[in-house]
């Protein structure tokens, strides 16, 4: 999904960098990308593009022998590390896809590697099995929403969902790339690659939304939103459960919550009973970046 032309177009501007990986015969065998932007107007940061979970690294690996496979991947990671060694930045924080776990090439050269986590549901389970794996709290959320007359529908008019999502970012004092969200809802989303559900109260007022993207094998939760004045403790969970069931009906194998390092969000995702999957972020701060984080820590401690 995150390597498709349609997805990349949502982030493609002067800050988006798409790199090709070539073999000795100068044949294209892979790619990765990152976003280069100004943080606080003075710091240059390299990270994954908005709403992309990682750097999109993909390589056509034709090795079969396990030792050769490990060596091939190390060479690929070494090439990427050498590329970033030559780049100008103050802060680098770049997550890699879950299948890339060997980050020694970065560690050996002074980069730090941070584990992060997502939860994945195996959609080959029956609906009853998926419900049974949830926490009692999450099942209670869903039952309460149903009992209180909350209903969910998959929406084609995504302006309702878009408004809920943008308002949620605003309420939480979080910055959001409105241009990317506009592209996601206007030019990217269609019946085949997107699941967007909205929960309504019994007065038919929208109170929560869930937005997911999917390919033939994995459905990814991207973001959600809610109306803080009308919020219901089970409206978001019911919308999420509807997305999970619909992805299963479409033959998708995995539902990926895309993870979070925020304790409250992690707890919410954990309640759906998925398997915890680690992935790794490569980080490096130069002197301006180090100074920025030291000052931020000092200010927050006062």
CA angle 200, 184, 196 (to 5 degrees): 25
Q: CATH number of the domain at 5-116+279-301, please?
A: 3.40.630
Do 152 and 238 form a contact (C-beta atoms < 8 A)? Answer: yes
Do 116 and 55 form a contact (C-beta atoms < 8 A)? Answer: no
The encoded tokens of residue 188 equal 């990217």
pLDDT of residue 302: 64
Phi, psi (degrees; rounded to nearest 5) at 25: -90, 10
Q: Domains of the chain: which residue ranges?
A: 5-116+279-301, 124-252
How many CA atoms, within 13 angstroms, populate the side-chain half-sphere of residue 294?
7
Q: For 37-62, what is each residue's pLDDT tens digit?
A: 999 889 999 999 999 999 999 999 99
pLDDT of residue 298: 82
> Is there a shared CATH topology between the 5-116+279-301 domain and the 124-252 domain?
yes
Among residues 219, 289, 264, 263, the alpha carbon closest in space to that of 53 is found at 219
* Low-confidence residues in the chain, pLDDT < 70: 302
Does the domain at 124-252 match CATH 3.40.630.30? Answer given as yes
pTM of the model: 0.92
- 230 Cβ contact partners less than 8 Å away, ≥ 6 residues apart: 201, 205, 207
pLDDT of residue 249: 97
pLDDT of residue 230: 85
Among residues 223, 212, 197, 203, the alpha carbon closest in space to that of 150 is found at 203
d(CA 118, CA 263) in angstroms, rounded, equals 13
pLDDT of residue 209: 96
Q: For 276-294, what is each residue's pLDDT tens digit?
A: 999 999 999 999 999 988 8
């Amino acid at each position: 999904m995150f390597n498709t032309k349609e997805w990349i177009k949502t982030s493609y501007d002067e800050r988006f960098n798409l790199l090709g990986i070539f073999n000795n015969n100068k044949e294209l065998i892979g790619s990765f990308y990152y976003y280069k932007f100004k943080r606080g107007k003075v710091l240059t940061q390299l990270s994954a593009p908005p709403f992309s979970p990682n750097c999109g690294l993909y390589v056509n690996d034709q090795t079969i022998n396990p030792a050769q496979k490990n060596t091939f991947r190390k060479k690929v990671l070494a090439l990427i590390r050498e590329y970033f060694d030559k780049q100008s930045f103050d802060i680098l924080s770049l997550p890699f896809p879950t299948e890339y776990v060997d980050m020694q090439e970065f560690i050996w050269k002074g980069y730090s590697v941070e584990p992060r986590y997502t939860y994945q549901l195996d959609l080959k389970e029956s609906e009853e099995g998926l419900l049974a794996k949830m926490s009692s709290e999450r099942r209670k959320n869903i039952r309460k929403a149903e009992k209180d007359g909350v209903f969910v529908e998959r929406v084609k008019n995504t302006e309702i969902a878009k408004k809920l999502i943008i308002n949620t970012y605003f309420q939480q004092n979080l910055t959001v790339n409105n241009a990317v969200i506009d592209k996601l809802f206007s030019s990217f989303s269609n019946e085949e690659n997107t699941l967007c559900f909205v929960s309504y109260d019994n007065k038919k007022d929208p109170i929560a939304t869930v937005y997911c993207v999917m390919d033939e094998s994995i459905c990814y939760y991207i973001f959600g939103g809610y109306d803080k004045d009308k919020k219901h403790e089970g409206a978001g969970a019911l919308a999420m459960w509807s997305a999970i069931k619909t992805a299963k009906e479409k033959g998708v194998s995995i539902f990926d919550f895309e993870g979070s390092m925020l304790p409250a969000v992690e707890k919410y995702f954990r309640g759906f009973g998925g398997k915890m999957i680690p992935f790794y972020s490569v980080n490096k701060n130069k002197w301006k970046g180090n100074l920025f984080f030291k000052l931020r820590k000092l200010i927050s401690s006062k």
